[in-house]
Amino acid sequence: MKTFSTLILCITLLFSGCSQPPNFKSTDISGADWGKGFTLTDPQGQTRRLVDFQGKALIVFFGYTQCPDVCPTTLSSMREVLGRLGDDAGRVQVIFVTLDPARDTAQVLAEYARAFHPSFIGLRGDETATAAVARDFKVFYSRHAGSTPGSYSIDHSTGSYVFDPQGRLRLLVSHGETPANIAADLKLLLAGK
């Protein structure tokens, strides 16, 4: 009987180790009841939805092309993340959603995204669609008048959202997170964690 009890204890310990959540470096937001998707347009005029990217890990970042700091540093970091992933980079898609559809035309958005990496995709909507997607992702953004007539800047949230290959929102990556940590998190998601 003692051997049977020991066997049951070993099996229980073995399976309890299997159910441990992954040790992500970024904030685990698995099961969030927001960030459910988007319906936006790519620079070629094609409507894109979250479901279009299933099978890949998806990184979604909101910003604008005239951003002086957060946007270019985030996209540069994501380029480095892909470099760290090696062959797995093809299983990851980076999406840049503009919060400034008035200035970020399809052509401007395409050139901007490609300047960081040829696989990056810029998406846009009209003002109403942009506000709806930002609201669904809990993204803050606000225009502030510039020093010259018609000029403005946009304050905005700085996190990136990561979906697993099944299309589930899993992680919130803080601005400034290291590419090594982001790549490690993506490897876990690509491995089915």
Q: What is the mean pLDDT of residues 76-90?
A: 97
Residue 58: pLDDT over 60: yes
Q: What's the rounded Cα separation, in Å, for the pair 25 and 142?
A: 29
Give the mean pLDDT of 86-93: 96
Counting residues of the chain whose pLDDT is more than 90, the rounded percentage is 83
- pLDDT of residue 21 exceeding 90, the answer is no
Q: Where are the domains of the chain?
A: 25-190
Tell me the C-alpha distance between 48 and 65, whole Å.
Answer: 20
pLDDT tens per residue across span 105-144: 999 999 999 999 999 999 999 999 999 999 999 999 999 9
Q: How high is the pLDDT of residue 16?
A: 46
pLDDT tops 50 at residue 17: no
- For 27, residues 6+ apart whose C-beta sits below 8 A from its C-beta are 171, 172, 173, 174
At residue 11 the predicted structure's pLDDT band, cuts being 50, 70 and 90, is: very low
User: Tell me, what's the pLDDT at 153?
Assistant: 94
How much is the pLDDT for 18? Answer: 53
DSSP string over the chain: -HHHHHHHHHHHHHHHHHTPPP--SSEE-TT-SS----EEE-TTS-EEEGGGGTTSEEEEEEE-TT-SSHHHHHHHHHHHHHHHHGGGGGGEEEEEEES-TTT--HHHHHHHHHHH-TT-EEEB--HHHHHHHHHHTT--EEEEE-SSTT-EEEEE---EEEE-TTS-EEEEEPTT--HHHHHHHHHHHHTT-
Report the pLDDT averaged over residues 88-111.
Answer: 97
Average pLDDT, integer, range 53-61: 96
Burial of 97 (0-12, 13-18, 19+ CB in 10 A): buried
pLDDT for 4: 44
**What fold, for 25-190?**
Glutaredoxin (3.40.30)
pLDDT value, residue 189: 96
For residues 87 and 4, which has the higher predicted lDDT (pLDDT)? 87
pLDDT at 36 over 50: yes
Q: Which has the closest alpha carbon to 97: 141, 56, 34, 55?
A: 141
Beta bridge partners of 73: none
pTM for the predicted model, two decimal places: 0.87
